[in-house]
Chains A and B, each alone.
Chain A
C-alpha cells in the first residue's frame, strides 16, 4: 500500500510558535519519507531536547525523544544494532554543537549510515533565547542582556573536518529544496549532516525570515535580494570522484571556503560528498563477516529459555 504524506503525520498538537522555521523542517522530513516510500515502522526519528526535540512526536514513525546533546549516541546505538532501520536524528544547534559537540565529532569519525539534521537558529529558544553556538560573536539578540561573547561554531566546517561524508545546508522556508536535500542525505551511504537555517521568530531578531530574504538589502538596492543562494546553481561540484588524496583535499578545502561565506550571500545545497570513505558497517564486516545478515537485533540467543551461545571452547582453554 503506497503511503501518502498524511500517513507520516501524527495528530499530536504542535505547540511551536506561529511562524517558527521548525514547521518547514518537519514538513520537508515528512515529504521526504513519503517520496522515498519508507515504511513507517522501518524508520526512526531520534530527537534531542528543545523545540526541535518535539519533532519526533509529530512524525508517525518510531520516534525517540532523547536527552539534551545526546541524540546521536542513541541513534547510532540503534542503527548499529539494526542496520535495516532508516535513522534520522534531529536537534537544535545548541544540542548538537554545544552540549553535544563531542558526540558530533565522534559520530563523524564513525560514518554510520544515517542522517543528522540540525535546526540552526542561533538561540536556545525553549529556555528563552540565550545565545547558542552558531550565534556570531558580538551579536545581541533581543533576550541577551549583553552581546554574545563567544565566537561561533562553523557547523559545515566542523562536519567536513570531523569525517561526515555528506554535508549540506538547507533553509527551512525553502521546503522543496530542503526535502530534496533530505532525500539525498538519507540515500547517501554514510553519515549525512544537514545544517538547516531556521529563523526563531520569537527570540532571534537578527537572522529573521526577512533578513534571510534580504528585505534590508532590497531597501538599499531597490530590488529584492535574497541572501540565500544554491550552490548547485553556481556549478559547484561537491563530490569526491576519485580516491586520491589531492581530490579529497581539494573538495574539503572548497567546502571549508564555502562554509565561511555569510553576510549578504549564504550558500545552501551540498557542500561536500564522499562515498569513497567506508561506512561504519563495512568496517564492522571486516571484523564480523555476517554483520549485515545477522546484526545484533536479529540474532537468536535462546531456545526454550536456554542460551544457545556455545562458549565451551573458551571454557576448555581455562580448564586446568
Chain B
C-alpha cells in the first residue's frame, strides 16, 4: 500500500451518533484527497448496543479494511473493552478520562461470552478488569493514550462561548471524538467545518454549535497531543471522485436503467435502497417531462414480488430489493415469473442466515438458495457484484439481461457492501445501455405471447397494448398462454424456456461473466464482496514476490463452466474464498467444472473479511502450512 495507510475506528452505543461521526470523518478525508473505505458494524437493536465504524484512509486506491486500527476514538467504556487490542503499536486511543474507574461489570451490554474471554486475557497479563487495565496493555504494546474529559471539554467550551446549553450535551460527543482525532492527525480544521456545514445545511444553528465544538476540540488536540506518528494533512485529489454509501450503487443504477416501479417489504440490510429510491422518487429526464419511480411498501415480500410482476407485465422495468428471509417468501412467485417469461430484477442484499441468523451482519449464505430458488425447472440468472461501483453498472446489466432473455434476474449484493462507505470514480450513466429485448411497441393481427420462434424468445406484448392481448398462467400453457396439459406442447415449452440458459452463456460477453485479475499457480476463485479484500491481499503478497491469481465469477447461474475452466487451465492450486460455511461457490465449481478446490478460506462470523486475514491465510497456503479449510474470525 501507499505511504499513508491509516485506519480509524469510532465506537459507541447504537443511537449515539457513531455513524454520523464516521460520515463526517469519511467526508473530511475524502475531501482532502484520500481514498476511503469505511464499514459499519451494528447489533440488531435501536439504542444502546455496541456499534462501531472503521474508516480506512490511504493515498492509494484501497478496497478493504485491515485488522490493525491506527487511531481509535471512543466515548464509552465498551468500545475500549472491545477494541483496545486492535490498535497497533504506534497507534493511539482517544478516550474519555471520566471512564478511568469503569470495570467490565459496569457495562451491562458486555455479554458474558465476551467478558469471559476478556477476563481470561486480562488475567494472563495480570491486569485488573478495568479501563486502566486494558489501557495499560495497549500502552505496553506502544499505543499512545489520549485521555480527554469529554464532560470537561464541553464545560470549557460552554464557558468560552457563554452557551450554557453545551454543558453536558452528550450527543456532541461524536463531533468531539471526530475533531480530536482529526487534530491528532493534523488534518486542517477547515475541511471539517465545511463538512459540518454541508451535513447540517438545513439547521444553521446546530451547524454553528457543532462547528464551535469542532474548532475547540481540534485546537485542544493539536495543542496537547503532539507527535503522533501518523499525519494526514491532505493529498492530491483525484478528479471525479464521489463518496458513496453501499446502497447508492444499486439505487442509482435502478434510476438510470429506467426502473420505474419498486415494491419492497422492510428488511435489513435491503430496505435502505428502497427508502433512498423513494426519497428521490421524482426524476429528471433529458428533453422530457419529469419521470418518477413508484416505490410501494407492501404488506410482505410475497406481495412485493406479485406487485413487481404485475408492474412488469405492463412493460415497466420493475424491481424489488430484499434479504434472505424475504427472498425465501418470494420463491413461489419467482417460478411464476419464470414460467411466464416475465422480466424482473430482484436485488438480494444477503445477510447471515439461516433463519433470522445474524440479522444485521454480513454473509454470502444465499448463493445456492438463489440458484435453486423456486420449485420446478425454469431459467433464471444469478449475477453478483463485487463492489459498490460495480453494482451501479451491474444493475443496468441485470435489467438488460432480464429484458433480453425474458427471465428473472437475481442480483446478489450483501451486507458488507450495503454498510460500506467508500470513495470511487463518479458513476457514469452513459456507460449504462438500455436494451428492452423484444418488447413490442405495437402488434398487428393475431398475437401469441409464447409463440415458438427460432431464437427461443417470443416478442413480448404488455398489458394495455393495442391488439396485444395475451394470457398468463402458472400452469403449463400453449402459445397463447392458455392452460394445456398436452405432453408434446409441454416438451416444446420446457425446451423453449430452458434454452435461455444456453443463450445467456452465448450472448452475455465473457468479460461480463467472469473478471480475471490474472491466473498463477495459486489462483483464487470468489464471487461478490470478497473481491475488495482479495485484491488488496494479493497486492500485498505481490510486493513480497508472491504472485496469486484471482478470478471473480459474476455470472453464477447459468454457471460459465467452460470459460472458468479455460481461464484456470494453468492454475495448479485453486483457492475458494467465500463468506459462508459450506463453500457454496466451491460446490457450484465442483458440479459444473468437475474440478476440485484445493483450499477454502471461509468466514461465517457475520463480519466481513479484512485483507489482512486473507493475506495471512494465502501466505500460509503458499508456505504449505494451511488447513484445507481456513476459517477466519477477525472482528468484534
Q: A and B: partners?
A: yes
- Selected interface stretch from A49-57, A147-155, A212-220, A230-238: A49-57
Size class of the B contact interface (CB-based, 8 Å):
35 or more
Interface residue A222 (Cβ < 8 Å from any Cβ of B): no
| Residue ID in chain A nearest B30 by CB atoms | A320
- Residues of chain B within 8 A (CB-CB) of A62 are 463-464, 469-471
Interface residue B223 (Cβ < 8 Å from any Cβ of A): no
Q: CA of A90 to CA of B464 in the docked complex: distance in angstroms?
A: 19
- Residues of chain A within 8 A (CB-CB) of B313 are 64, 74, 77-78
A311 touches B482 (CB 8 A): no
A306 touches B430 (CB 8 A): yes
B294 touches A73 (CB 8 A): no
List which A297-320 residues lie within 8 A (CB) of chain B.
Answer: 297, 299-303, 305-311, 313-315, 318-320
B285 touches A300 (CB 8 A): yes
A288 touches B314 (CB 8 A): no
A81 touches B242 (CB 8 A): no
- Residues of chain A within 8 A (CB-CB) of B351 are none
B310 touches A294 (CB 8 A): no
- Residues of chain A within 8 A (CB-CB) of B314 are 78, 81-82, 85, 296-297
In whole Å, how far is B441's beta carbon from the nearest beta carbon of chain A? 12
Q: CA of A290 to CA of B435 in the docked complex: distance in angstroms?
A: 26
List which B96-140 residues lie within 8 A (CB) of chain A.
Answer: none
A318 touches B242 (CB 8 A): yes
- Whether A320 contacts B243 in the complex (CB less than 8 A), given A65-B473, A78-B463, comes out as yes
Q: CA of A300 to CA of B290 in the docked complex: distance in angstroms?
A: 10
Interface residue B377 (Cβ < 8 Å from any Cβ of A): no
- Residues of chain B within 8 A (CB-CB) of A41 are 464-469
Interface residue B308 (Cβ < 8 Å from any Cβ of A): yes
A65 touches B474 (CB 8 A): yes
B283 touches A80 (CB 8 A): no
A102 touches B299 (CB 8 A): yes
- Residues of chain A within 8 A (CB-CB) of B291 are 294, 299-301, 309
In whole Å, how far is B298's beta carbon from the nearest beta carbon of chain A? 7
A297 touches B292 (CB 8 A): no
In whole Å, how far is A92's beta carbon from the nearest beta carbon of chain B? 15
Give the residue among A62, A315, A320 with the most B Cβ atoms within 10 A.
Answer: A320
| Residue ID in chain A nearest B333 by CB atoms | A67
| Residue ID in chain A nearest B243 by CB atoms | A320
- Whether A75 contacts B255 in the complex (CB less than 8 A), given A308-B288, A315-B242, comes out as no
A309 touches B284 (CB 8 A): yes
In whole Å, how far is B326's beta carbon from the nearest beta carbon of chain A? 14
Q: CA of A297 to CA of B258 in the docked complex: distance in angstroms?
A: 11
Interface residue B311 (Cβ < 8 Å from any Cβ of A): yes
- Residues of chain B within 8 A (CB-CB) of A84 are 464
Partner of A77, one of B255, B299, B302, B308: B308
| Residue ID in chain A nearest B428 by CB atoms | A315
- Residues of chain B within 8 A (CB-CB) of A297 are 314-316, 462, 464
The main secondary structure of chain A at its interface with chain B is mixed
| Residue ID in chain A nearest B240 by CB atoms | A319
Interface residue B382 (Cβ < 8 Å from any Cβ of A): no
Count chain A residues whose beta carbon lies closer than 8 angstroms to a beta carbon of B.
65
A80 touches B299 (CB 8 A): no
Q: CA of A308 to CA of B423 in the docked complex: distance in angstroms?
A: 25
B258 touches A309 (CB 8 A): yes
Partner of B299, one of A12, A82, A103, A313: A103
Q: CA of A82 to CA of B255 in the docked complex: distance in angstroms?
A: 19
Interface residue A291 (Cβ < 8 Å from any Cβ of B): yes
Q: CA of A77 to CA of B263 in the docked complex: distance in angstroms?
A: 9
A65 touches B472 (CB 8 A): yes
- Residues of chain B within 8 A (CB-CB) of A318 are 242-244, 248, 426
- Whether A78 contacts B288 in the complex (CB less than 8 A), given A288-B294, A318-B242, comes out as no
In whole Å, how far is A103's beta carbon from the nearest beta carbon of chain B? 6
Q: CA of A247 to CA of B255 in the docked complex: distance in angstroms?
A: 44
Interface residue B317 (Cβ < 8 Å from any Cβ of A): yes
B299 touches A301 (CB 8 A): no
Interface residue B432 (Cβ < 8 Å from any Cβ of A): yes
In whole Å, how far is A218's beta carbon from the nearest beta carbon of chain B? 41
Interface residue A268 (Cβ < 8 Å from any Cβ of B): no
Interface residue B306 (Cβ < 8 Å from any Cβ of A): yes
Interface residue A169 (Cβ < 8 Å from any Cβ of B): no
Give the residue among A102, A296, A313 with the most B Cβ atoms within 10 A.
Answer: A296
- Whether A70 contacts B316 in the complex (CB less than 8 A), given A296-B311, A307-B429, A309-B285, comes out as no
B471 touches A81 (CB 8 A): no
Q: CA of A305 to CA of B403 in the docked complex: distance in angstroms?
A: 13
Interface residue B332 (Cβ < 8 Å from any Cβ of A): yes
List which A138-189 residues lie within 8 A (CB) of chain B.
Answer: none
B294 touches A57 (CB 8 A): no
B469 touches A60 (CB 8 A): yes
B241 touches A319 (CB 8 A): yes
Per-residue B-contact encoding for A1-26, CB less than 8 Å = 1, 0 else: 00000000010100000000000000
- Residues of chain A within 8 A (CB-CB) of B434 are 301-302, 305-307
- Residues of chain A within 8 A (CB-CB) of B436 are 302
In whole Å, how far is B470's beta carbon from the nearest beta carbon of chain A? 7
B261 touches A77 (CB 8 A): yes
In whole Å, how far is A107's beta carbon from the nearest beta carbon of chain B? 9
Q: CA of A103 to CA of B263 in the docked complex: distance in angstroms?
A: 14
Partner of A73, one of B27, B284, B298, B318: B298
List which A26-73 residues lie within 8 A (CB) of chain B.
Answer: 40-42, 44, 46, 49, 54, 56-57, 60-67, 70, 72-73
Q: CA of A287 to CA of B296 in the docked complex: distance in angstroms?
A: 12
Give the residue among B296, B303, B427, B467 with the most A Cβ atoms within 10 A.
Answer: B303
Q: CA of A315 to CA of B244 in the docked complex: distance in angstroms?
A: 9
Partner of A65, one of B316, B332, B475: B475
6 nearest A-B residue pairs (beta carbon)? A77-B310, A73-B306, A301-B258, A77-B307, A106-B299, A296-B260
19 new A-B contacts at CB < 8 Å, known A74-B306, A299-B291: A62-B464, A76-B306, A82-B464, A85-B464, A288-B281, A294-B289, A294-B290, A295-B294, A296-B261, A296-B294, A303-B287, A305-B435, A307-B434, A310-B286, A311-B255, A311-B256, A319-B240, A320-B30, A320-B31
Chosen A-B contacts, 19 in total, with CB atoms closer than 8 Å, are A12-B482, A41-B464, A46-B310, A63-B472, A74-B307, A77-B261, A77-B296, A80-B311, A81-B261, A102-B300, A291-B292, A294-B290, A295-B294, A296-B260, A296-B294, A299-B292, A301-B257, A302-B434, A307-B430
